[in-house]
Amino acid sequence: MSFHDYFFAAPGAIVDRPWVGFANYATVLSDPAVRRSFVNVGIFLLINVPLTVVLSLLLAWSLNAAIRWRGFFRVSYYVPYVTASVAVVGVWLFLFNSDGLVNSVLGPLAPDPSWLVNSKLAMPTVAIYVTWKQLGFFILLYLAALQNVSKDLYEAASMDGAGRWKSFRNVTVPGVRPATTLVVLLATVTGANLFTEPYLLTGGGGPDGASASPVLIMYQRGIEQGNPDVGSAIGVLLVIGVLILALIQRRLLDRES
């Protein structure tokens, strides 16, 4: 599709879809909105992936301990993940608009323009929102992984004089490394597919394209504007980018282990 002048047509319609080589790729790469969307998603992944790994591991570790209300907390972290995006986005709009709860608490420290219409803060806010919404799923992965870390290792570490933090660093983190590889990969893949949040939370990738993602641009070009050839070229570039990123991540994580 990305190598043709392609558009969707009714069955039986006689249409010409000539081979155009890399013309669609040239169109995509010369489009500042597309280039910006790739930079935006890069910023998103830089914030979202490390934050997801750190927070989900720490929370899973805490929720694995014998604490009061453990079941309640586990469910609470999972609820945003299973709640419809439209509903959760409504809550975040209420929290982060200029008259919202967050700015009321911050008072004079509140940013101007506010979070979701501030070109420097819109994408980080989206990244934090997505991290929070997806956290429950990744906590679940780490909780499962934590069940496979032998209790003997913690006892041995304790006998060697390791405190809670040292046990975490030297037993838990290496013990759940395969799960970390999975979390990094999944967070990268789902993050690169970012669509709902720029579509709903920042009103179509605003302000001025600061939170537009490649998938949002794919939707605009491919579906709304009837240019699926250009949309698919963006998709192919995105897949290549994610594959390269996943390969680098795997090399790095394998080397560490």
Partner 1 sequence: MKRKVTSVLLALGLAGTAAACGGGGGGSSEAAAQAKGPITVWYSNNAEEVAWAKQMVASWNSAHADQKVTGQEIPTGKSSEEVIGAAITAGNAPCLIFNTSPASVSQFQKQGGLVALDSFSDGKSYIEERSGKVAQQYKSTDGKYYQLPWKANPVMIFYNKKAFAKAGIDTAKPPLSTYDEFLATSRKVVAAGGAKYAIYPAPSNEFFQSWFDFYPLFAAETGGKQLIADGKSQFASEEGKKVAAFWRTLYAEKLASQEKYNGDSFVDGKAAMAIVGPWAIATYKGKVQWGAVPVPTSEGKPAAETYTFSDAKNVAMYSACKNRGTAWDVLKFATSKEQDGKFLQATGQMPLRDGVSTAYPEYFAKNPDYKAFADQAARTVEVPNVPNSITIWQTFRDAWSKSVIFGQQDPAAALDGAVQKVDQLASGS
- 75 vs 223, which CB is nearer to partner 1? 223
CB closer to partner 1 out of 116 and 127: 116
Nearer to partner 1, 54 or 106 (CB): 106
Choose, by CB under 8 A, the member of 37, 48, 52, 114 that binds partner 1: 114
Stretch that binds partner 1, among 10-18, 132-140, 161-169, 171-179 (CB under 8 A): 10-18
The sign one gets for the Cα dihedral 59, 62, 68, 71 is positive
Cβ proximity of 10 and 185 under 8 Å? no
Q: Does 111 bind partner 1 (CB under 8 A)?
A: no
Interacting residues of 43 by C-beta distance below 8 A, sequence separation 6+: 123, 124, 127
How far is residue 190 from each of residues 16, 88, 119, 130, measured CA to CA in Å? 35, 18, 23, 10
- The site for partner 1, by CB under 8 A, has a size of 36
Selected binder of partner 1 within 23, 33, 51, 246 (CB under 8 A): 33
Is residue 67 within 8 A of residue 143, CB to CB? The reply is no
Query: What is the spatial distance between Cα 79 and Cα 72, in angstroms, rounded to a whole number?
Result: 11
Residues that bind partner 1 (CB under 8 A): 1, 7-15, 33, 90, 93-94, 97-99, 113-114, 116-117, 119, 202-209, 220, 223-227
